[in-house]
Structure 1
Amino acid sequence: MKLIVWLIRALVFVLLLVLAIANQQHATLNLLLGYVWQAPLILIGLAFFGAGLGAGLVSSLPAMVRLKLENGRLRRDLRTARETPAAVSEPPLPPIV
């Protein structure tokens, strides 16, 4: 299974490398307020990929913090449950006939 995963990773890497080599021509990106960015097309694609990656990480931060706090609370609850002795209840008496 690990071999298949590494083969898929190598295939994706080679495909992205071929894509990068094939897109070396310069592209012009017209931004707001008249700003213009001229760069190789693969660099523009890489910049937008990085911006998307950063936005995804920032948007997942609240969920990660909430889960980390809940994990800490559950660990404390488990520790206190292990430290307190279990109450032994006596079984009910059989009915008297």
Structure 2
Amino acid sequence: MKLITWLSRIFIFVALAVFASNNTQLITLQYYFDKSIELPLSVALLIFFAAGALIAAVVVRCRCHTD
């Protein structure tokens, strides 16, 4: 079972690495008051994925402690 888990982790890592290397175009994120920043698409997706995972973890943790 551990072998299957590690193989799936390696597969996901390789797939994400290939995705990141194919999406190196710069995008512009616009903020308030005409502020902006340019990032590669893969970095922006990683940031927003991590933020979503963090928010979900906080919500689940808060729900578990209210019971």
How would you bin the TM-score normalised by the shorter chain? 0.7 to 0.9
1:62 and 1:43 map into 2 onto residues whose CA distance is: 29
Structure 2, unmatched stretches of 5+, are none
CA RMSD of aligned residues (A): 1.7
Using structure 1 for the length normalisation, give the TM-score: 0.59
Q: Which amino acid aligns with 2:45?
A: G
Higher relative contact order (CA 8 A, sep 6+): 2
Question: Within 1, Cα distance between the matches of 2:3 and 2:54?
Answer: 30
Normalised to the residue count of structure 2, the TM-score between the two structures is: 0.80
Larger Rg over CA atoms: 1
* Aligned: 1:22 with 2:25: no
- Asked whether 1:57 is paired with 2:57, we answer yes
Write 1 or 2 for the structure with the bigger share of strand. Answer: 2
Higher helix share: 2
Q: What 5-or-longer segments of structure 1 have no aligned partner?
A: 68-97
Aligned residues with identical type, % of pairs: 36
The alpha-carbon deviation at position 41 of structure 1 amounts to 0.7
